[in-house]
Amino acid sequence: MKLTLYQIDAFTNHLFGGNPAAVIPLDQWISDSLMQRLAMENNLSETVFFVPAVGPDADYEIRWFTPESEVNLCGHATLASAFVLFHVMGYGYPAIRFQSKSGILTVTKNFDKISMDFPAWKPEPVTDWPAELVNGLGNITITSVHKHRDYLVEVADESMVQLCQPDFTILKRIGHKVILTAKGSKADFVSRFFAPSVGINEDPVTGSAHSQLIPYWAGKLGKKTMFARQLSKRGGELWCELGTDRVTIAGQCVFFMKGEIDL
């Protein structure tokens, strides 16, 4: 069996920036164990697979795997999948409906960007967060902790996010993904994302984290349209908007390579 693999840099307009995703289009699903082994072999934060949908409610079904486990939502690999469909595979319609473990995700081509309609996950305040969280984030001073899927940790300023030196052993022991965030200087807000519990110490740019970040910062800043930066070494840019119970996350992509997997 031969499979085509594309590697796309997502949430960036230049090569070697943003978050690289491995995209593997399929005619039909292969086994979960094989998808997990392929993700482990690719060793990127996410390997994404999609197949043509059977029913009328979606165009494709989509699944995402880290090197260690399947996840319920991934932004950069969804963006990369849409880029491959729009710009490589010749998908001719302006919108793609992906059926996922987080419901229908509609992705739209919009000039030089691709926009994703994602669930809005409003994080709630947490008072009993693990004491190890401070040490896990390099003895940082925490302003507040909220949570939906992931811990959302706010700190006082952008430099604290940029200079944070996490202890990934401690964060893995906590067992939850962690978003570190602050109000931005050249962006409305900035963030970093740590997920050693699923095999990713730091994710370069994390669309799914913005399902929490957008409603959180919209409430704090009193605005629905925002520009965000993720301050990993590779860096990334996201254009964000809060709707009623959904968020829109837009970004750019760059093609890196096409390969063939021989199984």
**DSSP readout, the chain?**
-EEEEEEEEES-SSTT-SEEEEEEE-SS---HHHHHHHHHHHTSS-EEEEEE-SSTT-SEEEEEE-SS-EES--HHHHHHHHHHHHHTS---SSEEEEEETTEEEEEEEETTEEEEEEE----EE-SS--THHHHHTTSPPPSEEEESSSEEEE-SSHHHHHH----HHHHHHHTS-EEEEEE-SSSSEEEEEEEGGGTEEEES--TTTHHHHHHHHHHHHT-SEEEEEE-SSS-EEEEEEE-SSEEEEEE-EEEEEEEEEE-
Burial class (CB in 10 A: 0-12, 13-18, 19+), 88: middle
Choice among 46, 61, 158, 202 that is catalytic: 46
Token pair recorded at residue 83 = 């880029």
Does residue 132 carry a catalytic annotation? no
Residues with catalytic roles: 46
